[in-house]
Amino acid sequence: AGPNLLAMILEAKFGQHLPLNRQSETYAFQGIELSVSTIAGWVGACTANLEPLVTLIEAHVLAAERLHGDDTTVPVLAKGKTITGRAWTYVRDDRPFGGRAPPAAMFRYSRDRTAEHPNRHLAGYAGILQADAYAGYNALYEADRQPGPVTEAACWAHGRRKLFELAELSRAPLALEAVRQIDAIFDAERTINNLPADARLILRRQHVAPLVTELETWMRESRGKLSRHAPVAKAMDYMLVRWEAF
């Protein structure tokens, strides 16, 4: 097997979640006989040979001052049913801060979504983690954690998402206004992208901080007039109860 064929097989398996037996059948349609055991042997050999590269990427990602973490669902065939696995992704990208280190991503897989997974993935990390409000991250933020606490940075994209859905689907006036104000913050952030951190801080204090303060004041006043059961109230609470992290 040449490198191109091996790359196709690996990408189909790990990128498209295409089982090896399905791949074997696909090649058979083209008159190419590749047994599942043969392909599996190639996958195992490739995995072993790529492990040093994976280790280097992992070390590079975990050396970052800040990471973005997220997970997504992966349907997994099981006996008589399909279970929901998870693909965990941790991204290092210093370019928005004027950093020169190359961006990279570390991927992990699990058959469920329990807190043990991110705690194991980031066991030696003690920087900033930008993520959603998944409770499984909470142990990372504890002050007595070793080798040190992870600093929580709430994800504005996740905070905006719930409000955007209400604005888009229900045309809820308060949700529309919240999205408008958040988008104004995003617009201000785009103008300082790729600048060094000290320059970003100066411009953020001048242009972004007033918008964030205005949003918080408006959101708290608006939230006080809503029932706790209102969908918009729940969307606002997602941000307000974590405002320090946002």
- Percent of the chain residues topping a pLDDT of 70: 100
For 166-213, write each residue's pLDDT tens digit.
999 889 999 999 999 999 999 999 999 999 989 999 999 999 999 999
pTM: 0.88
Q: Which residues contact 103 (CB under 8 A, 6 or more apart)?
A: 91, 92, 93, 94, 95
- Percent of the chain residues topping a pLDDT of 90: 92
For 88-137, write each residue's pLDDT tens digit.
999 999 998 888 999 999 999 999 999 999 999 999 999 999 999 999 99
Q: Phi and psi (nearest 5°) for 63?
A: -85, 0
For residue 97, the model assigns a pLDDT of 84
Describe the crossing of helices 173-190 and 231-240 by its angle, rounded to 10 degrees: 30
**Which class for 37: exposed (0-12), middle (13-18), buried (19 or more C-beta within 10 A)?**
exposed
For residues 34-43, average pLDDT: 98
Q: Is the model's pLDDT at 17 over the cut of 90?
A: no
Q: How far is CA 133 from CA 153, 161, 169, 191, in A?
A: 10, 13, 23, 27
Could you tell me the pLDDT band of residue 52, with boundaries at 50, 70 and 90?
very high
Tell me the one-letter amino acid at 111: R
For residue 78, the model assigns a pLDDT of 84
